[in-house]
Chain A
Amino acid sequence: MQVLLDELPFFLELLLAGLLVGMMYALVALGFVVIYKASQAINFAQGEFVMFGGFLVAASMRYHGLSLVPAMAVGFGAMVVIGLLLERLVLRPLIGRGVIAIIMATIGLASILKGLLLLIWGPLSVDIPLPISEAPVEFFSLLVKLITVVGAIISLVFLAGFSFLFLRSRLGIALRAVADNQTVAQAMGIDVRHYFALTWVTAGVVATIGGILWGNMIGADVHTALIGLKVFPVVILGGLTSVPGAVLGGLIVGAAENVAAGYIDPFVGGGTKDFVPYILMIFALMVRPYGFFGEEVIERV
């Protein structure tokens, strides 16, 4: 019993840090869910959106001397343009072509974004200076990094905001109508293309915010895109079409990977963090493929 109590602070610290990071994963997953909810399009490039948006902000601050807010405007602006161009040039011709076409198109986009970043700014990592201190903060005698707390709070605000948006606002209702049945939505006077573009732009903006937070935590460079790979376990656990599900999935993945890494890493020499979310995901796919809050897809013959 005493052993358990001695272990408790270590475990709680891992758990708390994991939960906070999990909220930040949920923020990245939010972009993914928004796109999928409206257009059933899978965005394999979400990680690259995070990378590109975050890096634009980082480069504007470091190389061009802008302060935080103008740099954020630059980042947002660029992602808006990319989202609009993407929807117009790539996704519209691919409507109705099936899942694999969209997957491959976004994989191609991911490759292009990565190449562009390397071409323009090179492979060096850039720091994003935020007015948040680096010193750990004490919370009930557990140490956490302040940036993760700020990140979690910002994520929570956005996730709650989008939940509310989807449920109550006209915009949200229109998006849900488009998700349910495009043809009928158009018959009701909803401009589907306008809303698709909106979802991609939103995903880009949300990704940029995530990119700024992650860039502050781990530095902005090409590898930030790996966050995008963590998105899949999060949305599978939570449900591809659910914003609260993204929160739940993010919390579970974040907590599980951090706790597992803390205990298992010394035995296997690292890398558990990349492995555990996928094990969770395989279990989820076997048992409950649509996630906790996702809609079950009923196939009609």
Chain B
Amino acid sequence: MINRECGVFYSTYAADMRLFPLPLTRWATAGIAVLFFVIYPLVANDYFLNIANFVFIAAVGAIGLNLLVGYTGQISIGHGAFIAVGAYAGAIAVTRAGMPFWIGLPFGGLVAAAVGAFFGIPSLRIKGLYLAIATLAAQFIIQWLIIHIEWISGGAEATISVPKAAIGPWVLDTQVEQYFLNLVVVSLAIVFALNLVRSPVGRAFIAIRDRDVAAEIIGVHLFRYKLLAFAVSSFYAGVTGVLYAHFLGIANYEQFDISASIDFLAMIIIGGLGSILGSILGAMFITVLPMVLRVMVEGVGTVILFLVPSANVSYIVQSLTSIKLILFGLLIIVFLIVEPEGLNKLWRNIRDYFRVWPYSY
């Protein structure tokens, strides 16, 4: 009934190669665009806009990591460090070199891309687990360098205060203005990534992931494309870092340590490796999870207080951090076992079910 491809015939190559060739997907995309550009900022209050901002920034980072891990098959546990590089580079550009925000943003991305390409050099010789460990080393080395080189970190606390983003004379300091900034950046990031994976470069990435020896034989220059994957992924990470720095007002390495790297890995695994939509869904899931958890735990506490007025519920609220850790680990393991292709696969199952509904036989 909703068979999307039914009756759709292309008469030009351009129509066939469009990013969204089917009318249904075009309408759906337009609808989503209207939802996020028009409806959400009108109805959401500052709290929900804040959440949306965090989700958008995390989505940029998740897409970057998925390009490297999901599409090119190079395991990286150093994403947090590249985000930190971008954050500090952007912060230094804006505060010390006096660059405007709209130059500082790509500048942070480029610096992170250079650092990422450098730490991708081992990928020429090692792969799989060994590469993962090398990126882990990158995480710690970059973190140490940021903390201990005063020129970068600006002192003992390794924190740089960053003013809110400003485009020309217009300072973006309300939640709504930052929402639109982050929305524009993440939209550009999504469109670029979607086109990248359809291009020859993207196909080279996928070839490397699937069978790199065979890819080399058919002429894919392994080292060049692996470095490119690291560079592009780190560019996304750098942009994420700059956005975080401007949104939160400070650049601090503690936000981008190994647990951040693990968070982003969790985002793409839960969302689905090798899928842009998966990265976005995963970013939404992981970013919103702590807030949902807090609401649930407080709810449970309230219920217990209602039933047993003398109960000591402060213990429950205090154990929020530990519950979050346990749940986080459980979710990763459950998703790995039950749905290895992540939320993206769940969405595809739903979509494919309705593709031929009600004539699914």
Residues of A within 8 A of B (CB): 42, 90, 93-94, 97, 99-101, 103-105, 107-119, 229, 232-233, 236, 240, 268-269, 271, 274-275, 278-279, 281-282, 285-286, 289, 299, 301
Contact = CB atoms under 8 A, between A and B. Distances in A.
A104 B331 CA distance: 11
Given A93-B337, A105-B333, A99 B129 contact: yes
Contact of A285 (B126, B214, B319, B331): B126
A105 B265 CA distance: 11
Interface of B: 69, 75, 122, 125-126, 128-130, 132-134, 136-137, 140-141, 144, 147-148, 213-214, 262, 265-266, 269, 273, 319, 321-333, 336-337, 340
Contacts of A236: 130, 133
Given A115-B326, A116-B322, A118-B322, A278 B140 contact: yes
Contacts of A119: 319, 322-323, 326
A301 B217 CA distance: 11
A268 B146 CA distance: 12
A52 B165 CA distance: 45
Contact of B266 (A104, A115, A268, A282): A104
A271 B326 contact: no
Contact of B333 (A90, A100, A232): A90
A112 B326 contact: yes
A272 B346 CA distance: 46
B340 A97 contact: yes
Nearest to B266: A104
B325 A114 contact: yes
Contacts of B262: 107, 111
Contacts of B213: 299, 301
20 contacts: A94-B336, A99-B75, A99-B129, A101-B340, A103-B75, A105-B333, A105-B336, A108-B336, A112-B325, A112-B329, A114-B325, A115-B321, A116-B322, A119-B323, A232-B136, A233-B137, A275-B144, A282-B137, A289-B125, A301-B214
Given A99-B128, A285-B133, A105 B141 contact: no
Contact of A90 (B144, B322, B337): B337
Contact of B329 (A103, A110, A278): A110
Nearest to B338: A93
B126 A269 contact: no
Centre residue among B125, B319, B322, B329 by max chain A CB count within 10 A: B329
Lowest 3 A-B CB distances belong to which pairs? Answer: A115-B325, A111-B329, A108-B332
